A and B are shown apart, each in its own frame.
Chain A
Amino acid sequence: MNDAEYTEYSDETLIEKAKKSDLDAFRVIVQRYESRVKSVAYGIVHNEDDAKDICQDVFIKVYRSLDNFQGNSRFYTWLYRITVNMAIDYNRKIRRKQAMEYIDEINVKTEIPMPETKQVRPDKYIYDKEIYAKLNEAVELLSEEQKKAFVLREMEDLSYQEIADIMKCSVGTVMSRLYYARDKIRIYLKPYL
């Protein structure tokens, strides 16, 4: 069976094959979702190298847990749930480590990828960079649940129902978490808006 054939399969078919230790099927799943998993992880940890490590751990965990996936929910719902939980766990671990080592979190961890622009004035570049740094700081201030909802919405553009399925809560709760998350960010960024 060639790669092109595999890429045409649905998630469910690929998972059934991966459950039977078909690594080619699992490779297609990884290729299909790795950029999304990395992006969501980045939204929580704000570091691309850490996001890559988390992505790797997520897929290994997924592969080991494939037998637990019964297919009652969509595969990506399950995958995103694992991703946000592992990223939050990773953040907690990093915070504990930094608390023990007395390292300034912002200086060490945060990296801000600057969006590619054609020709940006230096003063605009510096201003944008400051805003992006502040935005990352503001996201760090959110509660874990608010952060999950915000990242899934802003990064993956998921619907409230999809976020509710991932976070195992009601649509109303998602709406409320997003409102409070954005309000907190708005207050933090007010001088720049």
Chain B
Amino acid sequence: MAKNCKYYLEKLSAYLDNELNSAQREGVEVHLNCCADCRQYLNDLERIHGYTQDIYSSVRKNAHQDSVWNSIAAQLAENGSGTVKNPILWGRKRFAVWISSAVAACLILLSGFFAYYAFLKLNRNQCIVTWVESKKAPVMVYKDKSTNTTIIWMFSDENSVSNT
């Protein structure tokens, strides 16, 4: 196949459809006269077109039978002037609702899982704070498990605090 065949191959489909202007058409015909590969390519396209027409002509013939008008009229009468639930579109909407519900459920589960995980992590290093009221002074005990440290505050009066 010649180097410039690629250019003409792209044009052959439009040539077959009679969509080229006269200059382009002439250029293609000149090339076809001297290129057997492109002639073969055009021949293949014509055969495909022939097969397609064979199938589609019988489809067109069948399409004339069995009008859909009665079904359309019945559906229009049933639904009045309001919105008709188009089976295809309705299916798509239902699918979209289903997907968004599934996503929302997953998000809720994930956030619950993370909250539980964070709670467990916090509890692993839990700090215990105890407040003890006594006659002398109230005492607050703070224990950090991760560092194994205990801090005790003793409140002698309202304004002073001592810790151990």
Binding site for B on A (CB under 8 A): 21, 23, 27, 30-31, 34-36, 38-39, 42-43, 48, 51-57, 59-61, 63-64, 86, 89-90, 93, 96, 112-116, 128, 131-132, 135-136, 153-155, 159-160, 175-176, 178-179, 182-183, 185-186, 189-190, 193
Chain B residues within an 8 Å CB radius of A51: 59, 63
Binding site for A on B (CB under 8 A): 9-10, 12-14, 17, 19, 41, 44-45, 47-49, 51-64, 66-69, 71-73, 75-76, 81, 83-84, 86-89, 91-92, 95
A91 to chain B, nearest CB (A): 10
Asked whether, in the complex, the Cβ of A23 is within 8 Å of the Cβ of B59, the reply is no
Given contacts A132-B55, A178-B13, contact A60 B63 (CB under 8 A): no
Asked whether, in the complex, the Cβ of B48 is within 8 Å of the Cβ of A135, the reply is yes
Asked whether, in the complex, the Cβ of A89 is within 8 Å of the Cβ of B88, the reply is yes
Chain A residues within an 8 Å CB radius of B57: 115
- A61 to B90: give the CA distance in the assembly, Å: 12
Asked whether, in the complex, the Cβ of A154 is within 8 Å of the Cβ of B87, the reply is no
Q: Select from chain A the residue with minimum beta-carbon distance to B68.
A: A56
Q: Is chain B's binding surface mostly helix, strand, loop or mixed? A: helix
Asked whether, in the complex, the Cβ of A38 is within 8 Å of the Cβ of B76, the reply is no
Asked whether, in the complex, the Cβ of B86 is within 8 Å of the Cβ of A57, the reply is yes
- Give the 9 A-B residue pairs with the shortest CB-CB distance, closest first: A35-B63, A38-B63, A179-B13, A115-B54, A115-B58, A113-B58, A154-B52, A56-B68, A42-B59
- A61 to B79: give the CA distance in the assembly, Å: 13
Given contacts A56-B75, A154-B53, A178-B13, contact A193 B60 (CB under 8 A): no
- Interface centre among B56, B57, B84, B86, by most chain A C-beta atoms within 10 angstroms, is B56
Asked whether, in the complex, the Cβ of A55 is within 8 Å of the Cβ of B68, the reply is yes
- A103 to B58: give the CA distance in the assembly, Å: 28
Given contacts A86-B88, A135-B52, A193-B48, contact A34 B63 (CB under 8 A): yes
- A57 to B84: give the CA distance in the assembly, Å: 10
Chain B residues within an 8 Å CB radius of A135: 48, 51-52, 55
